[in-house]
Amino acid sequence: MLTKQRKHETARYTENHLTKDSPASQLENREPMNIPIRTIGIATTVFWTILILFSVSVAYSVKDLQFGFGEPQIGMSLDNKLVFSLPINVTNRSYYNIGVFNVTSIVLDEGGFIVTQGSSVMPLIEKDQSVTFFHNLTLDIGNLLQRNQNYLFNDTQLSVVECVSMKLAEIIPVQASGNFSIPWGAPLHNFTLEQPRFPAFNLTHIQVEVPLAFENHASFGFSGDVRIRMYNNAGVLAGSGDTTISVPQNSRYEGSIEFWVMASVISSTGRLEIELQTPFFSYGPQVIVYG
């Protein structure tokens, strides 16, 4: 009887030992944990493979982006500022959409001060789509000339910082920038006011004619009023005259301002004061000594 009880306890101990502590039992307990870990590893490898292939595909498709520029247009805003408008054409023949296509321009003068800046954004350019939008820059010539009147009379160069950015496939940001120079043409280049002439007279008045010439090298034409005041050697106003001018871009102006002064006030020496008013800028008074 005792022998049978010991055999029963030994069998029960062996069963419990195999169930809890044997290598086979431990393998069975760990196996369910190893399966998800291997699954995560495989998923991570697949994810990175897809990401790399996607990035390569996006980078390769950049070559199918085409850019073109139209004829620049120049206009005037309601507050008499020049507006330069550049048509930009983008043709997207890549595999993916292009998101947030941005063009930013910053124009600097010789001293490094910002003359003007502007940005234009196209929110979305779908694949196999061609779009045209306008990149606009507004230039306040009055502010430019207040800093430096040399721009009124002398041709020079302005520096431009250009930046283009976009999101390839609406995800991957890409940016490129560059610098270049653009010519600035002076609107009053070689400004010349000659000595006054006296072509006619009568008993009380003398006619005065003052020749005026300059070259408009600017990329815009302008119209305005020119006014001249004539003072004798005592500083007394002898007379004044004005005229209206209209000068197309890249053209020369030659004309004269004629007016009558009192014969009793005019002297053989004195000074002329000239002023020019246009919608874009004002100049003067410039003093010219005559006699």
> Residue 43: its pLDDT value, please?
44
Place of tokens 């044997």: 22
Of 63-77, 160-174, 277-291, the least confident: 63-77
> Same domain, yes or no, for 227 and 164?
no
Last residue of a domain, one of 184, 218, 244: 184
Contact 274, 194 (CB under 8 A): no
What residue spans of the chain are helical by DSSP H? 2-21, 23-61, 141-147, 150-153
Q: Are residues 228 and 154 in the same domain?
A: no
Q: pLDDT at position 46, please?
A: 46
Domain count, the chain: 3
Q: Does 270 lie in the same domain as 168?
A: no
Q: Do 137 and 205 reside in the same domain of the chain?
A: no
Strand, coil or helix: what is 219?
coil
Residue 156 pLDDT > 60, yes or no? yes
For residues 202-215, give the mean pLDDT.
93
124 with 90: CB under 8 angstroms?
A: no
Quick check: is 58 in a domain?
no
pLDDT, tens digit, for every residue of 219-251?
888 999 999 999 999 999 999 999 999 999 999
Structure tokens belonging to residue 194:
């000659």
Task: Confirm whether 277 is domain-assigned.
Answer: yes
User: What pLDDT score does 49 carry?
Assistant: 52
Angle at 137 between CA 133 and CA 139, to 5 degrees: 160
The full DSSP string for 224-288 is EEEEEEEEETTS-EEEEEEEEEEE-TTEEEEEEEEEEEETTT--SSEEEEEEEE-SS-EEEEEEE
Q: What CATH number does residue 94 fall under?
A: 2.60.40.10
Question: In this structure, are residues 228 and 274 in contact, taking their beta carbons and an 8 Å threshold?
Answer: yes
Q: Calculate the average pLDDT of the chain.
A: 80
Residues 146 and 112 occupy one common structural domain: yes
Residue 24's SS3 state is helix
- Looking at the fold, whether 165 and 210 belong to one and the same domain comes out as no
Q: How confident is the model at residue 47 (pLDDT cuts 50, 70, 90)?
A: very low
Mean pLDDT is highest, among 42-56, 132-146, 245-259, for 245-259
| Per-residue model confidence (pLDDT) at position 55 | 47
**Residue range of the domain that includes 227:** 189-290
pLDDT of residue 170: 82
Instruction: Assess whether pLDDT exceeds 70 at residue 79.
Output: yes
**Last residue in a domain, options 163, 184, 205:** 184
Let me know whether 177 and 82 are in one domain.
yes
pLDDT at 40 over 50: no
197 vs 36, more confident: 197
Question: Using CB atoms within 10 A of its CB, is residue 210 exposed (0-12), middle (13-18) or buried (19+)?
Answer: buried
Strand 98-108 and strand 73-76: pairing?
unpaired
Whether residue 57 is contained in a domain is answered as: no
228 and 174 in a single domain? The answer is: no
Entry pTM: 0.69
**Has residue 203 been placed in a domain?**
yes
* Last residue of one domain, picked from the residues 149, 184, 219: 184
| pLDDT tens sequence across 171-185 | 878 888 888 888 889
The H or E element spanning position 167 is strand 156-168
Residues across the chain = 291
The larger pLDDT score, comparing residue 6 to residue 89, is at: 89
Do 204 and 174 share a domain, yes or no? no
Same domain, 47 and 142: no
Q: What is the pLDDT of residue 141?
A: 84
Distance CA 84, CA 86 (A): 7
**Phi/psi at 66 (5° precision):** -120, 135
158 and 171 within one domain: yes
Q: Is residue 47 part of a domain?
A: yes
Establish if 132 belongs to a structural domain.
Answer: yes
Which comes out higher in pLDDT, residue 216 or 58?
A: 216
- How buried is residue 166: exposed, middle or buried, by Cβ count under 10 Å (0-12/13-18/19+)? buried
For residues 117 and 142, which has the higher predicted lDDT (pLDDT)? 117
89 inside domain: yes
117 in a structural domain? yes
pLDDT score for 51: 45
Residue 244 and residue 257 in contact, taking contact as beta carbons nearer than 8 Å: no
| Rounded mean pLDDT, 119-143 | 89
Q: What is the pLDDT of residue 101?
A: 87
Beta bridge partners of 181: 159
Please tell me whether residues 79 and 14 are part of one structural domain.
Answer: no
What pLDDT band is residue 213 in, cutting at 50, 70 and 90? Answer: very high
